[in-house]
Structure 1
Amino acid sequence: MKFLFFPMQAHGHVNPMLPLLRELVSRGDEVVVYVTREFEAAIRNTGASPRLLDDSLAIPSSVAGLPGVGSSGVEMKKVMPALMGLMRRSLRETPRLLEQAREERADCVVYDPMAVWGRAAGKMLGLPAAIFQTSFGLSHSPTIQNALRANMKGLPPPSALLAIGRLLLTSELMHWRHGMPRFSPRSAFTTVEDLNILPVPRKYQPDAGNFDERFLFVGPSVLPRNDRGDFPLERLEGKPVLLVSLGTTPMNMRPDFYKACFEAFRDTRWLVVMACGKSLDPATLGPAPSNVLVRQHVPQLEVLERARVFLTHGGMNSTMEGLWHGVPLAVFPQFADQPLNASLVTGLGLGLTLSPQDALDPKALREAIERLDTDPGYRSRLAEFQKELREAGGPRRAADALHQFAAARRGGSPQKAA
C-alpha cells in the first residue's frame, strides 16, 4: 500500500510519527511524508520518502519574540497571531500541494489535524483518511476543553482576533474557489475521522470513557533518531544524570530558568545535561558550572537512557519519552497541553509539578529534584506505568489498524475527482 502522511511542521508533531513510518516501510509499504527541510533527514532515516514543503510552512521563529517568552512563560493567546498566520499561509498553499499529492496515486492519507493541507487532502482526494493526533484526544474530552479555555484567560487580544478573522476569510475564499473544506481554529482540535490514532495509553487520556472504537490509543513508541552528533555521551557513564530541557520550539527561551539551574546544581553530585534550544545562544547564559553540559540540542533519547531525573516543560513527546524510560519527571509547564500533562504526571505519582516560583528558586529546584531521585515510590509507580505504555501496542498496532482501515474503504479509483 501507499500512504501519504501530512504532519504539522514541529518536532513534537513529526517525532511521534517516526516509529509508525518505519513500521510501515518495514512491511513493504510505500510511505510519503510532506515536510520542510528541517525534517527531511529524520524522514529519510525511517525509509520513507520526503516531499519538501516551503519553509514558510514551518512554525515561525517570530514566536520567540512574543511577549512573555523568556520572562514569565507564554500564554496561548499570545502565540495565536503567529499560529493563525501560519495556518492562513498553509491554506493558500494547499491547492498546489493537492495537485502534487494527487499525482502520488496513494491508497490512504494520514494527517495531523493541525496540518490544514493534510485535512484538505483527506477530504478532496477521495482517499481513506485517518488522523494521527500527537497529543490527547480533544474532541470528546470536556476536561481538556475546559483546561484550554482556562489557559486562554479571557478573550484573545485584538491582534489574535484580527488573525482569526483573516484565517476565516481565507478559508471561505479557498472553499469557494477550490472546493476546499472550511477550516477554523476550532476544527484543528475537534476534527474526527473513522480512524484516529493517538500515541498515548488510554489510561492517560482524560475522559477516556467518552472515546468510542474510532479512537485507537496505541501509546508512544520510542525510535532512535540518530541525532547524537558530537555530544559526549561517554561523559555521562557512571554519573547521576539530570536532563533539563524545555522542548524544541522557540518558546523554550527561558534564560532566567537556565541560570537558576546553574545555581541550583553547581558543585553538586549531579551531572546536568541542559538543552537550551536553537533560539538561544548558550554563551548568553554566562560560564556554565563544570558539572553542567549546555547545548542547543542534545540526543534526548540517549540521555534519557542514562538519566535519573528529567526536568521538562511537559510537552507530550517529552513526557511520554521520559515515562517510557522510567525516569521521574519534574514538570515546569509553559503553555498549551503542558499544564495538563503536569497535573496528570503529578496525580499518577510519576513526578511533580514546579510552580514558576519554585522553578526559578535554586533551593526549591534542588530540593524537588532530590526528592524525585530519593523517594522510591516514584520509580515503583513508574515501573507499573511502563507496562501500560508497552502493552498499548505502539507502531505495530497502529500499522495493523491503518492496513485494515485502508483496505476496508478502498474501492473504485483511488484518486476520485475532488
Structure 2
Amino acid sequence: MKIVLVVLGGPGHIFPMLSLANQLKMSEHEIVICSHLDGKEKIEAAGFNFYPLAEILAPKGYFNSMMMNNNTGIKAMFNGLNTMDKLRGSEIEDLTEFISKGKPDILIIDFLQTSGIAVAEKYEIPYFIISLSLPEGFDANIPPIATSWQYEQTNFSKVKNRIANYIFNKIFELASTTINEYTKKNKLSKFKGITPGVRNSLAYITQVPSQFDLTQKLPENVYYTGPFVNSLVRKNIFEFPWEKLNGKPIVYASLGTIANNKPKIFKTIASAFEGIEAQLIMSVGDLISQQEIDAIPGKPLIVRFAPQLEILDKAKLFITHVGMNSTLESLRAGVPILALPQTSDQPGIAARVKHIGVGEFILSKDITVESIRSTAKTILSNPEYKQKAVEFSQLTSMQNGCQLAADIIESKILLET
C-alpha cells in the first residue's frame, strides 16, 4: 500500500513523524514523505523518499528564518500562521502534481499541513490527521492551549474559556485565507476553527498520552497514544564534551527551535544558577551569535546542539520552552520541568505540567534571575516533583506511541478496504 505523509519541515515535526513512518515501514508499506526543504536531509538520512513542497517560497533555512524575531505570545502565533498560509497555494500545486503521477492509497497529514487535508478531500483520498501536540478546539469548556489558564470547573471559567476558544477559532480561520479560496473554488467545506477536517478523517491521532491532558469531550475518532520516539530516527548526531561533566547535579536548559533566538533568556538562566551547586548545561542552537554566547555569565557548559535524550537521562531538572516533543522526552526520562513558555501551544503545555505536578512555569513577562532561581530551587528541593515525573515515566514506558498509532492506522485501513 502506498502511504504518503505530508509533514511540516521544522525539526519539531520531522523527527516524530519520521518515527511514525519508520513504524509503518515495518509493515512493508511504500512510504513517501512530502515536506519542505528543511526536512529533506533528515528524511533521506532516515531512508525515506522525499518529495518537496513549496521549494521556491520555503528554501532551505526557511523555518529558522521564521524564528528570527522576538515576538512572543499570541502575536507570534498569529504571525506564524499567516506566514504558513502564504505557502499553502504552492503546497497545493505540488501535492496535486505529485498525486497526478500516482494516486496514493492513504494520506497521513501533519495537523499543521492543512494543504494536505484540502487536497485529500478534493481527490477523495482517505486520510489521517496526526497531531504532535494537545488535542485542541474540541471542548470549548477547556482553556485554549495558547493560554496558561488553570483548569477550573466554575461557571465563570467555563464562560471565559468558551469566549476565548471562539476567538482562537476565528484567528485560525482568518489565517486560512488561501485554503478557503481553494475550498470555495472546489466546492469543499470551508475550513473553520483550529481542527479542520477531523470529521472527514479516518482518525485524528495525537502523540500526547491521555494522562498528560485535561479531561475533555472528544469525537469518537480522536485517539491519544504516546510519544513518537524512535532511537533509529533520534540517534545521536551531535558531538558532546562528556569529559567536561563535573559530577554535580545536572540542570539542562534548551529553548528548542522556537525560542532559541533569545540570548537574554539564556543570560538570565545562567545568572540564576551562579552560586547554585549544580552543573548547568545549555543548548543554545544556531540563531544567536558567538559574541552573544560569550556574553553569557557564569560557567555553564554551552553547546550549540546537544544529544537531548542522553542528557535528560542524567539530568535533575529541565528548563525548557515546553515544546511538546521536549516536554514528553523530559517526562519519559522522569525529569521535572521548569517551563518558560513563549508562544503557540506552549502556555497550555506549561499549564498541564503544573496541573499534573511535574513542574512549574514562568511566563515571559515574569522571567527574571530571581524567579528562575527561586522556582528551580523549589523544584529541586521538593521530591514530589521528581516522584510525579517518575510516575509519569513509568506510565509512558508502557505506551509505545508509534506502535499504538500504527495499529490504529492499520485497523482503520482494513475497515476502509
Q: Contact 2:64/2:257 (CA < 8 Å) preserved in 1? A: no
Distance of 1:310 and 1:246 partners within structure 2: 10
Task: Name 1:230's counterpart in structure 2.
Answer: 239
Q: Contact 2:322/2:349 (CA < 8 Å) preserved in 1? A: yes
The match for 2:110 among 109, 112, 124 is 112
Distance of 1:90 and 1:188 partners within structure 2: 16
Task: Name 2:256's counterpart in structure 1.
Answer: 247
Task: Name 1:296's counterpart in structure 2.
Answer: 304
Please say which of residues 228-237 and 300-309 is displaced more in the overlay: 228-237
SS in 1 for 2:4: strand
Please say which of residues 142-151 and 47-56 is displaced more in the overlay: 142-151
Task: Name 1:140's counterpart in structure 2.
Answer: 138
CA RMSD across the alignment: 3.2
Q: Contact 2:5/2:109 (CA < 8 Å) preserved in 1? A: yes
- Counterpart AA for 1:310: F
Distance of 1:237 and 1:18 partners within structure 2: 35
Q: Relative to 1, partners in 2 of residues 1:200 and 1:93: Cα closer, same or farther, differing over 3 Å? A: closer
SS in 2 for 1:278: coil
How many angstroms does 1:42 deviate by? Answer: 2.5
Distance of 1:172 and 1:37 partners within structure 2: 25
How many angstroms does 1:332 deviate by? Answer: 1.0
- Counterpart AA for 2:30: E
- Is 2:412 the partner of 1:405? yes
How many angstroms does 1:206 deviate by? Answer: 2.4
* Unaligned segments of structure 2, at least 5 residues: 150-162
**1:273-288 map, 5 Å:** 273-288=281-296
Q: Contact 1:7/1:35 (CA < 8 Å) preserved in 2? A: yes
Q: Relative to 1, partners in 2 of residues 1:342 and 1:82: Cα closer, same or farther, differing over 3 Å? A: closer
How many angstroms does 1:164 deviate by? Answer: 7.3
Please say which of residues 332-341 and 262-271 is displaced more in the overlay: 262-271
- Counterpart AA for 1:264: A
Distance of 1:140 and 1:217 partners within structure 2: 14
SS in 2 for 1:279: coil
Moved over 6 A (4+): 149-156, 163-166
Distance of 2:202 and 2:408 partners within structure 1: 11
Task: Name 1:174's counterpart in structure 2.
Answer: 182
Q: Relative to 1, partners in 2 of residues 1:183 and 1:272: Cα closer, same or farther, differing over 3 Å? A: farther
How many angstroms does 1:5 deviate by? Answer: 0.6
Q: Relative to 1, partners in 2 of residues 1:328 and 1:150: Cα closer, same or farther, differing over 3 Å? A: closer
The match for 2:88 among 84, 87, 90 is 90
Task: Name 2:4's counterpart in structure 1.
Answer: 4
- Counterpart AA for 1:408: L
SS in 2 for 1:142: coil
Task: Name 1:386's counterpart in structure 2.
Answer: 393
Distance of 1:95 and 1:313 partners within structure 2: 35
- Is 2:345 the partner of 1:337? yes
How many angstroms does 1:292 deviate by? Answer: 1.3
SS in 2 for 1:76: helix
Q: Relative to 1, partners in 2 of residues 1:331 and 1:107: Cα closer, same or farther, differing over 3 Å? A: same
How many angstroms does 1:336 deviate by? Answer: 1.9
Identical amino acids, percent of aligned pairs: 24
Q: Contact 1:171/1:182 (CA < 8 Å) preserved in 2? A: no
Distance of 1:196 and 1:133 partners within structure 2: 7
Q: Contact 2:268/2:368 (CA < 8 Å) preserved in 1? A: yes
Please say which of residues 378-387 and 326-335 is displaced more in the overlay: 378-387
- Counterpart AA for 1:88: K
How many angstroms does 1:88 deviate by? Answer: 3.0
Task: Name 1:351's counterpart in structure 2.
Answer: 359
Q: Relative to 1, partners in 2 of residues 1:385 and 1:149: Cα closer, same or farther, differing over 3 Å? A: closer
Distance of 1:312 and 1:6 partners within structure 2: 28
Please say which of residues 55-64 and 114-123 is displaced more in the overlay: 55-64
Task: Name 1:416's counterpart in structure 2.
Answer: none
Task: Name 1:53's counterpart in structure 2.
Answer: 53
How many angstroms does 1:329 deviate by? Answer: 0.2
Task: Name 1:413's counterpart in structure 2.
Answer: none
Q: TM-score, normalised by structure 1?
A: 0.83
Distance of 1:197 and 1:374 partners within structure 2: 37
Alignment: residue pair count: 396
- Is 2:255 the partner of 1:257? no
Q: Relative to 1, partners in 2 of residues 1:206 and 1:272: Cα closer, same or farther, differing over 3 Å? A: same
Give the structure with the larger helix fraction: 1
Task: Name 1:15's counterpart in structure 2.
Answer: 15
Q: Relative to 1, partners in 2 of residues 1:407 and 1:166: Cα closer, same or farther, differing over 3 Å? A: closer
How many angstroms does 1:137 deviate by? Answer: 1.0
- Counterpart AA for 2:31: V
Residues 272-325 of structure 1 show CA distances to partners (whole Å, capped at 9, x for unaligned) of 221223222242243445741223322222221221110011111111111111
Distance of 1:194 and 1:352 partners within structure 2: 37
How many angstroms does 1:182 deviate by? Answer: 5.6
SS in 2 for 1:222: coil
Distance of 1:74 and 1:105 partners within structure 2: 41
SS in 2 for 1:138: coil
Distance of 2:93 and 2:128 partners within structure 1: 20
Q: Contact 2:3/2:108 (CA < 8 Å) preserved in 1? A: yes
SS in 1 for 2:19: helix
Distance of 2:189 and 2:339 partners within structure 1: 37
How many angstroms does 1:172 deviate by? Answer: 4.8
Q: Contact 2:137/2:194 (CA < 8 Å) preserved in 1? A: no
Distance of 1:358 and 1:126 partners within structure 2: 49
Q: Contact 2:118/2:179 (CA < 8 Å) preserved in 1? A: no
Q: Contact 1:267/1:289 (CA < 8 Å) preserved in 2? A: no
* Unaligned segments of structure 1, at least 5 residues: 411-418
